[in-house]
Amino acid sequence: MEVVVERRKNRAFTLIELLVVIAIIALLIGILLPALGQARRSAQNVVAQANLRSLNTGAANYAGDSDDRIFSYTWRGGQAYTNLKNGKQIFYGDDQEAASGQMQNILQRATGRITGTGRILRAENRLPHRRYSHLVLLDYLTDVQPEPIAASPFDRNLQRWQEDPLAYLENGSGFPYADGDPAQDGYDTSMGWTDTPVIQLWPFASTYQMVPAAWNTDGINGALTYAPVDDTPHLFEPPQGNNPAPLGRRKITEVAHPAGKVMMFEEFDRFTDPDGLYFAYPEAKCNLAFFDGSVRQEVSQDANAGWNPRTPNQVWRQKYVPLDTFPLPKNGLEDDTEYCVRYRWTRNGLKGIDYGGKDVGTNGIDELENPDCVQ
């Protein structure tokens, strides 16, 4: 009997079938990647909020150990402090100068960079409170500088600077202004950004900033106060005249609406937009830490309008001018649109409210909760 063996042929994909498979895979990737990316961003945002909660808890502990004071620089003008480099006593003329000396002292102790190349210099004529108030809190909590908790996982610039704080000594380091002012117009080129003592501070900055009212006076009833300036959101104007304003010395008990008053805020919303939305943009939804200890995301346009304490009857609006390496304005470098500064400059300072209530002007006249804040 003859057995017939049927030989099977190996059948390969045709070109069309292969293209169909590739198209299906590409379609699945297109569907899944955004979901995976959003999940990753959500996880990063959890960490960002956890950082703020830790700082908030630390702030409460600091206040408990410091007569209810909000953390801020404590060195005072007219008093003597020890210079770590030579052991000599040094006097500072006012609270701003003393704060710059205290900032230098904190970073020299934490890093050991007291002498030699790369030693921590004193940033003279700068206002440390503006971007570095957190160093006092971190000095209270830990002896590590830079401290990773100060950087949001979204803030890749700051994370890179933290990884190598001495990189500013090399050309092309990526540090703001380390290679001079940006060639393109539209960046902030105010005097002083290219100074070495300012450049070397960037690894010790924080994604999360304190509001000025936490260390500045409220400016009510003629009190001497620092105030915003027209041409840049990154510098503040000292009181006019020869009398300096007292800095620091604010207390938690002075806050009138703890659940509605922002204490720390992200300067950029990198969760909604990976490129970074400046906090004053109406649609920005930054992570905020409040004086009652809560941390939450809030839309900027839901906050009450801010003020300049020297012009209390006007809504304070300002355009966003980026620093070197910072996120660009959403409409390009030449964008002159002015936006409310909202919770950075809360009306009436610590007595005011940002979310959950209506502003009340210094004359007792109710202000609109959300006036037209763009012009």
The two structure tokens encoding residue 231: 């041409």
Q: What is the DSSP string of 215-281?
A: TS---GGG----EE-SS-SS-EEPPSSSPPPP-S--BGGG-S-GGGSEEEEESEETTT-TT-EETTS
91 near 273, Cβ under 8 Å?
A: no
3-state secondary structure of 296: strand
pLDDT of 204 above 60: yes
Q: Which amino acid is at 189?
A: T
pLDDT of 364 above 50: no
Confidence of residue 363 (pLDDT cuts 50, 70, 90): very low
Instruction: Give me the chain's average pLDDT, please.
Output: 89
In 3D, which of 282, 293, 364, 372 has the Cα closest to residue 320?
282
pLDDT of 297 above 50: yes
Beta-strand runs (E) in the chain: 80-82, 89-91, 208-210, 227-228, 236-237, 262-266, 268-269, 277-278, 285-290, 295-299, 307-308, 311-315, 317-318, 339-340
Rounded distance between C-alpha atoms, residue 56 and residue 62, angstroms: 10
What digits encode the pLDDT tens for the residues 140-195? 999 999 999 999 999 999 999 999 999 999 999 999 999 999 999 999 999 899 99
pLDDT of 111 above 90: yes
The two structure tokens encoding residue 217: 């006076």
pTM, two decimal places: 0.88
What digits encode the pLDDT tens for the residues 56-67? 999 999 999 999
Query: CA quadruple 356, 357, 361, 363: dihedral positive or negative?
Result: negative
In 3D, which of 46, 49, 71, 72 has the Cα closest to residue 58?
71
- What was the pLDDT predicted at 368? 44
Confidence of residue 94 (pLDDT cuts 50, 70, 90): very high
Burial of 81 per CB tally in 10 Å (0-12, 13-18, 19+): middle
Confidence of residue 209 (pLDDT cuts 50, 70, 90): very high
The two structure tokens encoding residue 351: 């007595």
Q: Tell me the longest C-alpha to C-alpha distance in the chain.
A: 120
- What was the pLDDT predicted at 334? 85
Confidence of residue 34 (pLDDT cuts 50, 70, 90): low
344 near 197, Cβ under 8 Å?
A: no
Please give, one letter per residue, the 3-state secondary structure of 315-326: ECEECCCCCCCC
- What was the pLDDT predicted at 38? 74
Tokens 């008093």 label which residue? 79
